[in-house]
Amino acid sequence: MTMISAIILAAGESKRMGQPKMVLPWGTTTVLGQVISTFRMAGVDDIVVVVGGAHEKVEKIVLQNGARSVFNTEFANGEMLPSLQCGIRAQSPQAQATLVGLGDQPQVQEGTVRLIRETFELTTSHLIVPSFQMRRGHPWLVHRSLWDELLGMQHPQSPREFLNKHAEEIQYIEVQTPSILADLDTMEEYRQARP
């Protein structure tokens, strides 16, 4: 069976939230706990969580949920690229592709993650991105053959720039849920979305 891993980006400092959002309650778990659980239920066993801000509290959740953590020493610059590169460097040698997810996206659905995983197993497309009403979302999948390119990128380049460069190669999966676009940046967004 094809091994697909996941990188969950959870290194931010939650400045707009005013407190560490990864550890906020979400149902019977936490925001980050829900994300890890969703990926696991969708059949992803090897999950690397990139930590930075409030890393001791966040790492505790990572361990409680049976995932691995890697520390992004550049977390304070607030850029996504160093976190993604950190996660890629921590990938298992057996992984053929990785899903890139957001730690502050507890609304993401198991069915979406499973659909992306299954699409890769059927097509071996090198880039698979979920789309809702023509807008790209998370998690997206990137094949191992493209990891070196991501690792070679430098500020001010971004993952969005990488996806734009490879726009012709992307296999889009149309989903019927805006959850792939939703994240939690403010306390108001958290209160509105919280189950």
Contact 147, 88 (CB under 8 A): yes
pLDDT of residue 140: 97
What is the DSSP pairing of strand 47-51 with strand 135-136? Answer: unpaired
At position 48, the amino acid (one-letter code) is: V
Give the pLDDT of residue 126.
96
pTM passes above 0.85: yes
C-alpha–C-alpha distance, residues 139 and 180, integer Å: 7
| Class of the CATH domain delimited by 4-193 | alpha beta
Each residue of 140-154: pLDDT tens digit? Answer: 999 999 999 999 999
- How does strand 140-143 pair with strand 127-132? antiparallel
The CA distance from 178 to 191, in Å, is 17
Tens place of pLDDT for every residue, the chain, 195 residues?
579 999 999 999 888 888 899 999 999 999 999 999 999 999 999 999 999 999 999 999 999 999 999 999 999 888 999 999 999 999 999 999 999 999 999 999 999 999 999 999 999 799 999 999 989 999 999 999 999 999 999 989 999 999 999 999 999 999 999 999 998 999 999 999 999
Contact 73, 12 (CB under 8 A): no
Boundaries of every domain in the chain: 4-193
Count of other CB atoms within 10 angstroms of residue 147:
18
Give 135's strand partners.
132
Residue among 98, 104, 100 at smallest CA distance from 12: 104
Q: Which residue has the tokens 């189950």?
A: 195
DSSP state letter for 176: S
Q: Tell me what pLDDT residue 8 has.
A: 98
Q: What's the pLDDT at 1? A: 59
